[in-house]
Chain A
Amino acid sequence: QSALTQPPSASGSPGQSVTISCTGTSSDVGAYNYVSWYQQHPGKAPKLIIYEVDRRPSGVPDRLSASVSGNTASLTVSGLQPDDAADYYCSSYAGGNNYVIFGGGTKLTVL
């Protein structure tokens, strides 16, 4: 099972919105409502920010939203803040022995 495809980088100015894509296949992203997104600051463990396509854990602001269309998942960060600068990873259930696959990660820069 190949990794999910994410753009290596994205950027935006404070207050703007940015969308990060995550492309899989009809065997993973397109097959199940089990896409998650994680935020990782340098030297820190990943933090779950979206699960089951578009659901936010407690404490995650509604500036972060997500969706799936076909085989592509998207994460939108609205009202960009300096602390949003981080790496973002998508993941999906993939079935079989490769239970979970991750994307290559997107480095978000807040200009």
Chain B
Amino acid sequence: QVQLVQSGAEVKKPGASVKVSCKASGYTFRTYAIHWVRQAPGQSLEWMGWNNADNNYSKYSQKFQGRLTITRDTPATTAYMELSSLRSEDTAVYYCARGRYDDSTSFDFWGQGTLVTVSS
């Protein structure tokens, strides 16, 4: 069965960076995109960016341009999300999610979420 398992919770200081991993199993990793979506406490979902499986191309929401890097290690079937210059407003649960097909905008499987807390 398809599974996305994320790394554990992180506590970071303002200005630091965080890198969250997303280990995929149960499907052919190299043929599906991986997206990252975050959810601040009590708030809605926010799309951050994605990594396209076809050519390993990453695209980011304008809001995160310059601070966000999404990569994948295909042999390890793992995707990564790194967010730099953290501020308190980045405190959120970060989810990885699989696109239904490579350039789909629907996400059919999600990781369990990783809480990132930014606090001095």
Residues on A lying within 8 angstroms of B by beta carbon are 3, 34, 36, 38, 45-48, 51-52, 57, 89, 91-93, 96-105
Q: Do A99 and B105 form a contact, CB below 8 Å, given A38-B45, A51-B100, A89-B44? A: yes
Residues on B lying within 8 angstroms of A by beta carbon are 35, 37, 44-47, 49-50, 59-62, 65, 95, 97, 100, 104-108, 110-113
Contacts of A89 in B (CB 8 A): 44-45
Smallest CB separation, A77 vs chain B (Å): 19
Q: Do A46 and B110 form a contact, CB below 8 Å, given A102-B47, A105-B44? A: yes
Q: Do A97 and B65 form a contact, CB below 8 Å, given A51-B100, A105-B44? A: yes
Smallest CB separation, B115 vs chain A (Å): 11
Smallest CB separation, B112 vs chain A (Å): 6
CA distance A92 to B49 in the complex (A): 14
* Among all A-B residue pairs, the 10 with the closest Cβ atoms: A51-B106, A45-B110, A100-B47, A97-B62, A93-B105, A36-B106, A102-B45, A105-B44, A34-B105, A104-B44
CA distance A51 to B72 in the complex (A): 25
Total number of A-B contacts with CB less than 8 angstroms? Answer: 66
Extra contacts, 17 of them, besides A45-B110, A46-B110, A48-B100 (Cβ < 8 A), are A38-B45, A45-B95, A45-B113, A46-B37, A48-B107, A51-B100, A51-B108, A91-B47, A91-B106, A92-B105, A97-B59, A97-B60, A98-B47, A98-B62, A99-B59, A100-B105, A103-B44
Smallest CB separation, B111 vs chain A (Å): 7
Contacts of B107 in A (CB 8 A): 36, 38, 46, 48
Cross-chain contact A99 with B44 (CB below 8 angstroms): no
CA distance A102 to B35 in the complex (A): 14
Q: Do A45 and B45 form a contact, CB below 8 Å, given A52-B106, A93-B105, A100-B35? A: no
Out of A48, A92, A101, A102, which one reaches B108, CB within 8 Å?
A: A48
